[in-house]
Each structure stands twice: as C-alpha cells, then as structure tokens.
Chain A
Amino acid sequence: MAKLVTLTIDGITVQVPPGTNVVDAAKKAGIDIPVFCYHPKMEPVGMCRMCLVEIGRPVVDRATGELVRADDGSVKIQFSPKLETACTTPVSEGMVVINTSQKVKDGREDILEFLLTSHPLDCPVCDKGGECPLQNLTMEFGSGQSRYIYDEKMHSAKHVPLGDLIYLDRERCIQCARCVRFQDQIVDDPVIGFYNRGRALEIVTYSEPGFDSIFSGNTTDICPVGALTTADFRFGARPWELNAAASICTQCPVGCNLTINVRREAISQGRMAIKRIMPRQNEWVNEIWICDKGRFGYHYVESEERLDQPLVRKDGKLTPVSWDEAINLVSMRFKQAGSNLLTLVSGRLSNEDLYNIRKLTDSLNGKSALYTQMGGGDVVAQVGMSTGSNLANLGKGDVILVIATDLHQEAPIWWLRVKQATERGAQLIVANARSTRLDRYAKYPIRYAYGEQNNLIAALVQLIDPQKFVDAKAIKHLSEQSIIKDTAEALKAAQNLVIFFGNEGSGVADSQVLAQTCAILLATTNHAGKPNNGLIPVWQRANDQGAWDMGWRPPTDLSTSIKEANALYIVACDPAGDDPRLSLTPDFLVVQDLYLTPTAKLADVVLPALPFTEREGSLTSGERRVQRYYPAIPGRTGALADFAIAAQIAKACGITLEERSAAKVMDAIARENADYAAISYTELANVEEQWPIIGRADLYYGGTSYENKQGLGMQLQNAVQKGEPFQISLPELVEQSGEGLLAVPITRLYDRGNTLIPSQLLRTHLVSTVMWINAKEAKQQGVEEHDVVQIECGETSALVTVELEDAVPDGVVLVPRSVGIPISEPCRVRLHITERV
C-alpha cells in the first residue's frame, strides 16, 4: 500500500492515500466541505467554486530542501492569499486546511449569491425542496438578503420534458454539469449537454427520442437542485412527508438495492401509496445507481387489474369465493393428483416462496419444474461468485469474459460495472454472435455463429490446456483464429477471472452446457473458488438463482410434462401468454399470480398473490448474494404472500409448513440447505460503513440516493470455496448444423413481461413484436423494412414487423423475448409476407 499522506483539517489530523482530494479527505475525517459540482463518483472539474477553503502548505527552504521552522520549532505554514477549491486540490504532506474561518464563510456567501442571481427561488413548488443542496447551503452560508431585483433575473423555460421520463426546469439549473458528466463519463450515453454560454447556458438533449438513456433517472438523484425531476414523482409529495422502506429490485438478476418512498394518499382512498423508487447504496451490488426499469417499472404493483380474491370456475365462469373454499378445493384435488401433480414456478418468486411451494409439491409426491429458458444454476452453485467478491475490485491484470448475452439490455448495472472495470484496467472479452453495446470496451471482441458459444469456450479451454477436448473437430476452426489464441493467453495470465454467461442463441440444454464449459474454463485457469472470480449467470428473472438453489430445475420438455400432468399448479409465470398454442388442459389447473394472465384465464382456481412491495422476502442475485426486501406498504386485502398460500394449501393437506413470516421460512431453509446455513434475516440486515459516505444530512456530496441501513445481504459460498470437489465433466461438443434462416430470441430491457406492461410511463419504450434482420439478408428473403411477416417456427407462428439492423448476422433474424412471440429457443423459421406498406 502506498504511503499515506498526513494533513490537518480544522485541527483534525487525517491520513489518506496520496491523490485523494481535500473534499474526500475531509469527509473521511467527518468534516463536510460543501460542494455542488464535485461528486465522489466522478472526476472533479472545479466548476462551481462552492468548495472554497483556506489551504496552507509547509514552507520548504529551496536551498536545503528542509522544512522551515518557526522559532518555537513548529513547521512554518504558508497560506495562499486566495481561497482554493478543495475538490480539485489533491492532498499533500503537512497541508493545513481551514474550513470554518470567516474568510471561507464570506467566500461561500458570495458564491451562493452568484448562483442565486437567476435562481427562481420556487422552493415551495420544487420537488427537490426539502432535500435540496442549494436550499440547505443557502440556509447555512447564504445571505438573508438579495441584492438583485427580480427583473434582472434570466427567465427560461420551466417545463422542458427532456424525454418522457425526465423533466428539466432550466431556471433552476446551476450549471454544475453533474448530469452531463454522469451521462458522458459514467454511463457513456452522451445524450445531454450544455448549449450556449454564461447566463444563457442551458441543458439540451441531443438524442431522438429525447434523453435516450436507460440510466437517465440517476441524474435526478445527483442534480444538486430541482432542475431535473422524474415524470412519476413530479409534484407527488414533499420529501419530508415520505416514509422509506428498503427493498430490492425484482426486474433482473443484479438485485439493485432500492428505497421505496411511500405516503398515505387521498386519491388512493386513503391507502398507503408508493410515490417513488430511489436507489439505496450497496457498493457490492449497485453502488448508488439503478436503471430506469428498476426506477419506473414498479407501477405494475399499483394496477387496478390486480386480483384481490380467489376465483373458482363454476359453470364455466371464474367466480369469486372465500379463501377457505378455494384452499379446500385445491388441497383436495392436489391430494388426489398425487404424483400426477406438476408445479411450475418462475424466478420471480422469493426464496421463501420457492422453498414452501417446493416442500408442498414434494410432500404430495408431485413433480416440480422451473419455468425458464436458461440452464446452469447448479453449475453456478459450484463455481459462482465466491464470498467476498465485488466487481468493483476488478482492475489491472484481471479479465472479464462476457458470452452470449447483451448485458446493457439484460442487466444494465452489470454492464455499467463491467465497463467501469475496463476503465480501471481490466481486460474485457465480449463474445457474441452479434455486436452489442459492450463491444466498445472490449479488448477482444469475438464473433461466432449462433450455436457455437459452447465450442468457443471449449476452444479456449483447449488452447490453455491441450489435454482437454482433445481432437474435438467442432472447435478446430475456432482455435485456429488468432484473436481466440490471444484471448486464451489473456485468460491464462489473468489474476482474477469473472465470466458472465447468458442464453442468447441457446435453449435450456445448450446454456446448461455453456455453464459447464465456462466452469471448466474457470477451473482450468485455476480461478474457481477464489474471491473476485466466478461464473455469473445473466438470468431472465431476478431470483432464478434462488430457484435453482431451492432445488428447482427446468423440465427437459415442458409441453410433455404439462401433458402428462393431471393437476397443474402454476405460480408466477404465464406460459399461455408466452406461447398461446401451448395446450394447457389438465383436469385441474391452479394459477397463482397478481393478475388474470392468459394462463389464469384458463384456470379452474385462481389464487391472488402479493407483489414484492407488499410483503417480505429474500432474493438471490446472479452474484449469489442473498438480499432481503421489506414490505413498503400494507398488502391489499384479499391477496396473500405466495409462501403463505402454499403453507395454507399444505395445512389443508395435513402438511405443516411455516406460514407466519418469511423470516421463519428462511430459518427452515437455513436448517435444510447447507449453502444457506449461515443465512438469517438478522444476518441479512447487517450493514457496514461504505465509501463514499452518502445519504446523510450533507445531500450535496452524494445526492439523494439512500444510505443503506437495512442490510447489505450476504454472498453465499460456492462449492469449490467450501472445499468440495469440482464435479463438472467435459461435455460432448456438437458441430453446428442445420439449414435455413435461424430465428434467435433476444432479451430487451423494456420487454412486455407481466411486470412491465401495466407501467403507463414506460409504454412508449416497450419493444413491440418486431423481427430484426440485416439489409442483405432481408433482400435475400425478399422482405423489406416495415413489412408485416408471418414467422413460422415448426408448428407455431407469429406476426412480426420487419426492422433492419446491421448488427444482425447473416442467415439470422432476431426476435424479442416476452412480447408474445412463441419462440423461446433458437429455431429454424420460414417467413411469409402478409402486409406491405
């Protein structure tokens, strides 16, 4: 570790690493230096001058290089005649900083007066009022009087929708450029910028549609004034009226920590209502950021369409009944079905739900199946991210491999953290059949044909360890490519290795093999089981990993399993909606969900469940971090948490399951599941001090992201770390085969899942039923842009609109997942034009 620098700030001696700036050094000593433009996550720019302090440095005799001492022997300190900006000044040995003198206070008062020359002072109506750095600092340092009369103020537009999610009030902007720098430096979406100069300077958006970035909401957190506000919180409430509940985002496997702000609301008949979603700091997971899907996608929980009483089919119609009646019917029929019961769940559920439902099914001798399009969770349990891992630790000498996934669309915050790792010097390998947003940071962007992902990893393994995959014909043409050879060298030399794998271009079985080959790669390069190393699955749902850990597995053939079952218990998934042709006609169908989904419409019994905002639970992220969420608002009457419903059915069947609280279910999990043995709700609530320190009274420093007081969660140990033997054998490799046009489903951030469609705000962002094809291939297939074509995959087909996209490889069309196109795995297709505009 480099030698620490010692300095004094307001008489307090601080030791910090060299290169630290004075603001951060002071923060470490518990002293707040006010800032506007500086933000601990961004490079200082020194634009606002709010951080002025007096700085003195020891006087050095030029001739001797010795410190000059006063008569009493103390080191002579020379103060610079003017105030200096603390944010742009790095610390130096013996420095003396004064943050509280009258001179400093006068300087701040003057700066604030400048900032307020054109400020509209509409704090009473401003959404930031109450948590506004400018307001707070003016109260602390500002003058009580203004020397500017109203007519001298600049007047600008107060209602500028930058996009449909973010609104700008130009008068309130203090030109700190935090938003511009965030978009540019942090998320590399430079879609907003400064226009004009001086007092006429304004923020504009360059993109079409406006502010086209999936991270846009974060700018409202770090804007030190109310210039940027979100569409859904606009005038919704004053910050001091809100209550806060800790939660976890359930939209993707990253598991970002959230704070849900709630308030009792008259227009909701006096019920508690969610007013906004804010990030909660977890430097292990999401730092202080979240993506717009997490921030704006929650509105589905407010939908009026939500179910609030059990329904039973009577005379062909779903009729409301009491819980007792529904539970009795369900338990009776489940008992009758016995081993002919099939339970189908998705990773949208919490660990506690998945455990209880699994227990119920097992006790009845039923079969259980996970509704997913991706495999490999058991492999992740062996070589996933190890305890103590943090993507933020990756840097120089480390390698990240991303294969068969588009992280920007599938797990935005992982994309961000991988990008940042490359900025710290990590080498990135991005392997996919098409180019993705991550390619621009990749040292080794590798292209393969869809279906070859397993062979590519095998080729890398073979180059590193020639004993493995000997004579495999399928990989020969890959291992001969020089970029792949170079990649193998880089992998060999890696200090730490993290591999992200997805299911783009593969189905369940194929992605299972991909997980295995990736695990073998980790083992071959000797990276398995070490902190900051491991395999990260880019699941479709937030808790797919938890589902695997709770023993759920995808069935080999879902439609056969469904056909064979007498009774079906479908929880938190909508197979009929995803594939309308799936025949769901068992003797008895029970659907447990939030809405009357297409699947629920076919059901004999529908059981209403509670969404994550109205109950407790825990989720296991792709990095195998178990995190708990808390109830933000009381549950709607009539609906119950999934684990409690399962426990009630169990009780009626004579089986005892924990139904009182999620915490108790977690205790049962911990008793039974060795991986979760150390987990309890108390442990999950542990916190430690994080850097940068944000979310305290000094909102000017880190923004309005919340401090984490409710738990950082716990990362599970993987099998290799625990010293268990590595049990993954080399899979058989298959050569790519097949003729004709290949349709590949890909995941888009704003898909049409049941948990996104009800969000009015994101309506225009949702991907529609399209098909992407490159211009050359389109010509070959005889289709043109905007054509409506029938895309036929075996027995199923769907109508899609053609969109041209250069990144799509030849011989391939891409279709979005979860928009009702019944193509869940790559499939050879035929196209028929039905409409040309």
Chain B
Amino acid sequence: MMLDDLARGLATTLKMMFEKPVTIQYPEEKRRVRTRFKGRHHLQRYENGLEKCIGCSLCAAACPADAIFVEAAENTDEERYSPGERYARVYEINMLRCIFCGYCQDACPTEAIVLGDNYELSFTDRRQAIYTKEMLLDPVPPGGQPTPQRTPSGVYTRSVPVMKDPSD
C-alpha cells in the first residue's frame, strides 16, 4: 500500500524531469506581458517631438490613488512644449501610490499618458518612487525636435487634436 503511493510519486517526479520547466529565470529571462498589461506610465510625443500632454490635470483628477501631480504653464511660439496654450511644467507620478488602474489613461484627452509594459519598479528610497516628467517622457522620435521648440505662429493653436468625425 505505502510502496504503491511512493512509486506513484516518484513516477510523477520522473515524468516532470522530462517536461519543459515553467520557472522563468528572472531577471536573466523575462516573460512578455499581455497586450492589455498596465505597467509604468509613458508620456507620449507627437511625431514632430511636441509633447502630447497639455497639463490639464484630468489624469490627476481621475486618479483614485492621488498619485499624479500636474502643474501647468503657458506655451508661447518661442518656447513651445505642446500644441495649444497649455503644457505641463511639472508632471509627477508617485509609483508607490499608483495602483496601475489605468484611469489616468482613460481620462487623458490627448492620449498623452499611457501605461506601458515596464513592471520593474523598485526603489531604495521613497523619493525615487516619484517619476518626474523627464523620466516619463518618451524619447524624441526620429525626425522630431526636442521640446521646447520654436514654432511658427498660428500653427499649433489647438490643444486637443481636432475631432474629424463628431459621431466618432
């Protein structure tokens, strides 16, 4: 009776030795996240390099964890960060507060803030948990210019991209 059980157990062990292991050798090896995974945020740019974020604070208002702090300022054509009149002078997310719910992404009228793939957030100091605008901003895309930019007047007058189809 006892021997029978033992043999069955050993048989399972033996079988597993020849199966593909499920353990992932993190950090040497990393698993791809799912398409709808919500990881560390990015602030996106337009192709020309202008920031999509217009400093509207709607993400901060939507955030259930009060993790986002936005301070806006006014764009000029001499010193332009984003289209329209307003940009985020300060943009901070406290990753220790964030619960990665993605509400900020939903609230954003310009699709500036998106939750990305990065889940590797660790800190040795609470201050490091505050991600500043510089840390969150995407790099300037090829062909684009860094911000602030000098722009011709009368071109970037709209903060929110034009809605082509009102029934959309």
Contacts and interface: CB of A to CB of B under 8 A. Distances in A.
A120 to B, nearest CB: 8
A545 B148 CA distance: 53
A145 B167 contact: yes
B85 A146 contact: no
Contacts of A234: 74
Main secondary structure of the interface of B (DSSP, over half): loop
Given A149-B166, A150-B166, A236 B160 contact: no
A10 interface: no
B116 interface: no
Contacts of B84: 122, 125
Given A125-B56, A148-B166, A238 B71 contact: no
Contact of B160 (A124, A145, A235, A238): A124
A158 B71 contact: no
A149 B73 CA distance: 30
B61 A147 contact: no
A240 B159 contact: no
Nearest to A270: B69
B160 A265 contact: no
Interface string B62-87: 00000001011110000000001110
A673 to B, nearest CB: 46
A149 B168 CA distance: 11
Interface size, A (range): 20 to 34
B54 A125 contact: yes
Interface in A666-717: none
Chain B CB within 10 Å — which of A121, A125, A129, A149 has the most? A125
A172 to B, nearest CB: 12
Contact of A267 (B71, B85, B164, B165): B71
A266 B109 contact: no
Interface string B107-134: 0011000000000000000000000000
B162 interface: yes
Contacts of B99: none
Contacts of A158: 85, 157
Nearest to B159: A125
A149 to B, nearest CB: 5
Interface in B26-61: 54-58, 60-61
Contacts of B73: 235
A267 B89 contact: yes
B10 interface: no
Contacts of A267: 71, 89-90
Contacts of B109: 124
A125 B163 CA distance: 16
Contacts of A238: 56-57, 61
A266 B74 contact: no
B164 A150 contact: yes
Contact of A266 (B90, B110, B165): B90
Interface string B128-157: 000000000000000000000000000001
Contacts of B56: 124-125, 129, 238
A159 interface: yes
A228 to B, nearest CB: 15
Interface string A230-251: 0000111110110000000000
Contact of B61 (A149, A150, A240, A266): A240
B113 to A, nearest CB: 13
B166 A124 contact: no
A159 B85 contact: yes
A270 to B, nearest CB: 10
Interface of A is mostly: loop
Given A150-B162, A266-B90, A124 B157 contact: no
A158 B86 CA distance: 12
Contacts of A149: 164-166
Interface in A190-242: 234-238, 240-241
A266 B167 contact: no
Q: Identify the interface centre among B54, B72, B162, B164: most chain A CB within 10 Å of its CB.
A: B72
A147 B158 CA distance: 21
Contacts of B85: 125, 158-159, 235
Q: Most chain-A CB neighbours within 10 Å: which of B71, B84, B89, B158?
A: B71
A129 to B, nearest CB: 8
Given A124-B54, A124-B160, A235 B74 contact: yes
Interface string A716-743: 0000000000000000000000000000
A158 B157 CA distance: 8
Given A158-B85, A235-B72, A122 B165 contact: no
Given A122-B159, A124-B160, A266 B71 contact: yes
A150 to B, nearest CB: 5
A112 to B, nearest CB: 15
Contact of B72 (A120, A121, A150, A236): A236
Contacts of A145: 166-167
A145 B61 CA distance: 24
A124 B58 contact: yes
Contacts of B89: 266-267
B64 to A, nearest CB: 15
Contacts of B163: 150
A145 B163 CA distance: 12
Contacts of B110: 124
Interface string A141-157: 00001111110000000
Interface string A78-120: 0000000000000000000000000000000000000000001
A142 to B, nearest CB: 13
A807 to B, nearest CB: 40
B94 to A, nearest CB: 13
A238 B92 CA distance: 16
Contacts of A148: 166
A678 B157 CA distance: 58
B35 to A, nearest CB: 27
Interface string A251-286: 000000000000001110000000000000000000
B90 A235 contact: no
13 contacts: A120-B158, A121-B160, A122-B84, A122-B159, A125-B55, A125-B84, A125-B85, A146-B166, A150-B166, A159-B85, A235-B72, A235-B73, A238-B61
Given A122-B159, A241-B61, 13 more contacts: A122-B160, A124-B109, A125-B54, A125-B56, A129-B56, A149-B164, A150-B162, A150-B163, A159-B85, A235-B72, A238-B61, A240-B61, A266-B69
Closest 10 CB pairs of A and B: A124-B56, A125-B86, A266-B90, A146-B166, A125-B159, A235-B72, A124-B109, A238-B57, A235-B86, A235-B74
Interface of B: 54-58, 60-61, 69, 71-74, 84-86, 89-90, 92, 109-110, 157-160, 162-167
